[in-house]
Every structure is written in structure tokens, then in C-alpha cells.
Chains A and B, each alone.
Chain A
């Protein structure tokens, strides 16, 4: 089913969806001098922004920065009964892929993270095909199609005037029944043009995945690529796939709450042992860990898939403009040279 909606009628359309879902979409927010686009529950359809990548990923809906896991003595808390399903409206390919990357980590057969699972089960995402490259994104260098979100019941496109909906789920068709049909050829033509633009600006990465662990770990370039890293947690907190967390407990008059909260491998405390020793004492070691986790350890454990979807937020948000693409190119060049030395020797 292919349907089209004039953007001016978006509000009415969302009202229909709101009857059944808690609708979340990228909206504009003004923070001091900075304008931001973030996923928020929609109050007014006019604040929805579909032509700009949200500054923060939708990760927070499955893995909130702070999450109460229940009372230490009484056990887990359940999601409140009767809570509406969340519909995230307009999730780009990078962020959809990021959820796919998180799934096997949290939904492993041997250990299922029920908190993540329950939230994911209560969420529906409408994909949004990108019509232009965003600030620093490079999903197409990681074999992700920016135009075609995977595993979503609806994929949308915004051509500036109309929103196109490719509806793949029978149960959701009722919401679209009143809308006029879209011309599949017209859409294909538009997609072809967008695709061309992506191809023109693509960066080729030829990464051997997973990165060979020892060889990459011991490579000489890590100090150089991490020398300007401040050691803050911005890249990890804005990353759609970084999932590390810590636990803490809080006592209050009624009991003891168990919480989990995001943690970051960029922080020294992340690995500091009780006895005082820290196996990752320097920023070089910590930066290396982040890259190695994403491109060596994760693909080793999960079918060769890197834990990066190329959204580029770590690059855009970095206070010193460190560029992951430059680091990946450095690794790529080093490994190729090493390979050359080996085969010629």
C-alpha cells in the first residue's frame, strides 16, 4: 500500500494515530542559543521536523539514561498496565539499524534484558527514508541503505510537500485508508534522484570486519588519533548503539531502589577496580576500546556486524571535532599496509 499525505494535513493524520498510540516524533526545541531537533511526544504537529536528523537518537525509549529497575527487596517493576504503545514517527535508517544492533545484545536467548524487551515490544517505529545527506552521516559506507529502513511496518518519505507512506503492515492499513494512493513510479523517480545525491557524496570505507583484534590493538596510530580527545562522554551518550550502563542503589524511607544509568568507556571510572588499579588508565586506551568494541569485538560476537550505524552524531557533537571516519580510514590504511608487507615479505 502506497499512500500520500499533504504536509499541511499532518496534524489531522496524527490525531488519528494519537487515539491509539503515544506519538513521538522529531521536534524542534530551543535551548538557550542552540536549536535542537529531538524525539519528543508530539503536542503540535507544526513542530515536527522531518528534514533534519534529530540531534539525539531514539535509544532513550528503550534504554533510558536513568531507569528504575524496581525495589531491591521486592523485585522488578512492571510497565504500567494500560499504557499506550509508543509510535516513533520518522526514524531514519541509521537509527533503525542501531535498534537492530542493540537487539541481539539485550535479547540474547541465554539472558534476556526484560526491561529493554518490554519497552521494545511496546514500540512501533515508522521509518523515514533520507532525501539528503545529513551533517556527518555515512551509513551508506557501512552497507546501510539511507532510503530504505528495514524491519518497519511503515516507511515514509518526505519530498518537501508531501509525505509518502509505504505501508507494509495489514493492521496499520486502517489509518491510511482515507488517504489518496501514491504513484509508485513517481516515488521511484524521486528516490532515484536522492540516491544519486548520496552516491555523489559517499565516502568509501573498505573495512575488514571484524578488525583483527591483536594487530589492530597493538597498532602504533592510537596515540595520534586520540591525542586531541578530551575524554568526555559526548560520543557515547549521543551514540545510537552505545549501550554500556552501570547500576546504583538509592536508599529512601520506604526501601532501597535499584537503578541503572548510562556509563561510558570514555570515563576512567568505567574500568577502575576496587583496589585502585585501572586497566585503561590513559585516554589512548579508552578511545581504542571504543573503536575496537564497535569494529572488532561486536562484529566478532554478532555475525560480523559493526556496532555503528554511521549516523555521525559522535562527529557532529564532539567538542573537539574528532572524526570517526578519519580514525576508520587510519585503521583501514594501516591494516592494508600490514597486509602488503606480509604478502610481499
Chain B
């Protein structure tokens, strides 16, 4: 507060503000941001990497199951075409075709490259990178390290990245982008420790800020997931797309209350775990959608054979896509067949030996032992849906990852398109590697074609700083923690796993109220490491994110993937033609539009439409 408290509405003095200069500034240092920064650096760009936390702590560490890539190390029938087809089907064909293609083709090289940089994946008997089964993936496809694959990936990128000449700005929050005309010219950030501001002058910016799960009460996301990239890109003029598709992971912890929402990895089911209701019934057998019936086991015997490695047996229904499993659990709970704390039972204890469980799922064993005082090698877990991932995000070009704002790129969870209406497990770690790299390439190409350097505008800098300091300088106002709590309650109840026009309209009205309250938000205390202030700054972005989700969900009158409208059940072919795109209108309000999707590439369309037998025969012919 000290140096800003008396500024009031007089002109903010920016003469002594720290200014740093880079070719490109990457916001967010999870897997996507780190991979993007490494690529920028490889291509000779002066690169700044800005992150809200310490390096290596981003949410990527929470990814447990693995990274999906058609390496074919465990089942040699795997091929990019099969991975592509699985991804499109999982995404209910709403994925940006080109992104799903690039992803499936490039993921294997990105994984091998990690090994070159020091990652140590679990091995097959032949000494190759081992791969495990996961929901929606036809073959064992997830390269993994026990159940801590995300940690392995972020640490590998971190340890490699620190030797690439990247300048890392830790515990620094990005506030807003600067523009010269329509082009990106930098960003204003704030050092969390001191509360001082910093101006990054840059020719391009890559947003890699992850999702916005902190708008919901039950979420696997940590405080960092406040949709900063969505808010900042939206304010800078970029479009958001597919925001209605918020993935509720079927298995979050439900007890004790303080860890409600914490993720229970899908690997538990990949390793044979089954879902049971209070009557002891494996209810997933009653929840197999027609689209997947031909590829899913319909008896417990067949599911058991599959687990034992029988290649002719079909996959257990517990490994159906996440949207399907999440809705099925919710249905059991609603019907009064849930577990004591309102979830379903997830049982691995009766399927695997205690030794196997501790070796394959050490983090899960530890997490339940410590946080829930439960031994998963002896008892079933209680699990329920938790908001986990945003399929939607910043609308970008599939090849360059650039948004409609020249110089503004996005990759990883905060970018839209790759996953369509529903993401397959394991496809996010591969997404962030593939598109992290491509966004770095995109930024390098953009900069190389630049004819003049953009300049940072002092008035923009002043105005960004003033918005931030106003929160501290108000005499009194709304408590940011309480506002955040109200937002979480509202989104959980109105924009949850099952939606209706009535609920969504209520949600949007509620958000209007919260936006008004936010204008009066007040953080007490000084500017140094002040969590109340940080919370208030993040709220702006969370409110934009939440409104985008609610608006998009209201507009899409069908149920597809992770977006379920009870008043419009089932997928509507008509809606497959559109994406919902949100942007800031001239009057400052949020505009939501149906935008027609371009026709798919004929060859990709053909591959996605093949039956599993057809694609297997085609691939076998090529191999």
C-alpha cells in the first residue's frame, strides 16, 4: 500500500517501474509454457517465462496417469490414425480436425524428446517406454511413471529449460497485455512478493495459463486456476471458443470435506479398478452409450479377460469417456444408490494385490492414507465428479497457435480446439507438449516476419496499474474471499454437470450481481505478498471465465460431451456445424455467437468415420 495509497486518481507515476525486454513473453510455466519457452529459446528468441508460483509447481504436477502417444510399444497395432480417431470420437467430433491430426502425429516424437532431456518413464520388458490403458484409448497408449507422470514431465522440462537461457520470473502475476494498434507489444505484471509492477516489452506473447476451475466449488484445480489467460486474452481482443465444455472428472475425492474434489487418477480404473453403487452393483454396464457399445465389454467376465491381457476381449465400461462415467455416477447418487458421503465406490482392492497397488498407484495409496485415513489396498474409495479441465479456451489457428490478435498465442489447456466436447485422459500432457512446441514455432515465425517493433504505450501501462491498485486504495468494500466463495456456490449450482436454460439464466443473473460487487472489491493490508489482493486480481479473470462458460452453455441447445442440457437431451447434428465463440463487444459486454465450422479435410473425415476393424486393417496394411 505504502507507495500507492495516496495516488488516488492522480496520474500514476511509472518512471521508476521495472522494465524488461524480450522477444517473447510466455505466461504460465506448466508443461505448455515451459515447452513453449524452450522452443522459443531453441529458435534464438530472447524469452521471458512468467509464473505465479515457484517454477515446477504448476498444475502439470497433478497429472497422474500418463501422456498419450501412439508409440506402439505395448501394442504394435497403435498408429496415429487410431489415436486421431479415438480423440475425435472422445471429443464428439467437435475437435478442430487439424489440431487432432497434428497432436496424434507429433505426440510420439515429443515423448521421445523428453527421454532425451532426462525423463525416466516406466519400461516394458523389452526396455522401451511402457504404456498403459486409459479411458477412450483403443490400445495401451499412455507413457507413464507410476502415477506421477506430470511431475516427471514438468521436472524434465524445468531441468532442461533452465539451461536454455530462458529468463524465469517466478511468483509474478500477469495483469494485462499491452498493444500497439492491434498488435501485442508486451504485458504488465506484478511481483507477488513486493507488490511492485513490472513492464515486459515483447513482440509476442504466449498464453499458457491453464484453465479456470477455481470458479467452481468442487474442483481438482488449485488457486492458480483462475482463468487468467482467458481474462487477459479476452480483454486484449481475442476470442474464446467452446467454453461450455467443462470436464467433470468422474473420480474426485468426496471425503473429508476439505479435500472434496481432489483428483483420483483414472489409472485406478486403467489398472482394473471398478465402480460400484451402494448395492454392490457394477453400474457402468448399464451406462454404455450406443456409439461405444461395439467396443465395450458387456459382461464382467469379458472385462476381466481384457484386464488379464486378452487382446480379443473388449474394454471394461469403467474406461468409457469421462463425460459418460461422470454422469453415470451422478445418476446413481441421485437415485439414492450412492456411497455414504455422496459418491460411488471405486474398488481396486479386490482386483489387484496390495503390492501391485502400492507399486502402480503409490501417490493414490499415500493420498488416501494421509488425507482420508483409508487403505486403498483393503477398502474401496469413495469418489464423485469434480471440475477438472476446460476443453474450451482461446481460439487459435491450428498450425501457428495464434489468436486473432496478432502476436498473441495460446497453448495447452487455455487454448481451444484440440479436445472438442470432451478430452480423453492422457491427451492433455501430449497436448501441452505438441502445442507448446508449435506455439513457440508460431511466435518465432511471426517475429521473423515483423517489419517494425511494436511499442508499449504508457497510458495503457498506467491504466492497468491503476485498476490493480484501486483494489488496495478503496476506503472500504467487498471482501474478495467472500466474493470468490459466492462465485463458487453460484457456478456449482447453476453451471454444473447438468444444465437447463432456467439454471443458466439464474447463473448469468447471479454473475451480473457479482460483477457489480467486484467493482467495489477491497483488499486490506499492504501490497507485499498480500493474498487478499492476489485473490481480488484473479477474480476479474474468474468472472470473465465464468460468464463465458455460462453464456456458451446457454447458447448451445444440445447435449454433447461434457455439456449436458437436460432441456435439450442428446447430440443434435445441426449443432455439430457450430462452435460457440465469445468476444468482447464494443460496448464492453460479452458477445456470444454461433460460428460455422469449416468443413473437415476429406481424408481426416474418412479416417474418423472408419469402424475399428476398418482402421485396424488399414493400419496393418501400412505397417
Are chains A and B native binding partners rather than an unrelated pairing?
no
